[in-house]
Amino acid sequence: MVVPTLCLLWAIATAVRPAPVAPLGGPEPAQYEELTLLFHGALQLGQALNGVYKATEARLTEAGRNLGLFDQALEFLGREVNQGRDATRELRTSLSEIQAEEDTLHLRAEATARSLREVARAQHALRNSVRRLQVQLRGAWLGQAHQEFENLKDRADKQNHLLWALTGHVQRQQREMAEQQQWLRQIQQRLHMAALPA
């Protein structure tokens, strides 16, 4: 808009030439060459301003594009942070469930250990009964006492087998609990590391 206006002014100035008459004692009127030089300078200034305007417009467009990319990057990072928080929350929930399961297993192991102690006490009492019967049988070999002795001996053997099986079960549970505690510690360490700020 500025350049066509300046061109129009220059065309008018070249078409209309004022009379070279000047009042006496006043300043001299501008010469044709001076006006041409003035309009040429104004034209160059308009072109320079137009170039500055276009360069500024290009920079603003680039800045707007960069700002859009920056907004997209911020949005992506926000999604990543939210996903990290969700994963941490899920991991904490899983950790709580594992801890509750471990507590339940610990209670079961304690109950099994109590049962095992009771069976051991009963077995001890049964052995004492078998010994007493053996002493009685040495003195007199009676049919009914011998049958009772065999029954008690069978019971003692069954309880020995049961005690052996329960002992193996308790040892297996203790091994499983130790493995779960190790696994739980590893998860807690990973959760702690994930919660640290990057």
CA dist 84 and 78 (Å) reads 10
pLDDT for res 141: 57
Residue 65 — very low, low, confident or very high, per pLDDT cuts 50/70/90? Answer: very high
- Please answer whether residues 131 and 188 qualify as being in contact, where contact means their C-beta atoms are separated by less than 8 angstroms: no
Per-residue pLDDT tens over the stretch 89-130: 888 888 788 788 878 878 887 887 787 788 778 888 878 887
Nearest residue to 131 (alpha-carbon basis) of 147, 119, 149: 149
Per-residue pLDDT, 27:
56
Task: Please tell me the pTM assigned to this model.
Answer: 0.40
Percent of the chain with pLDDT over 70: 78
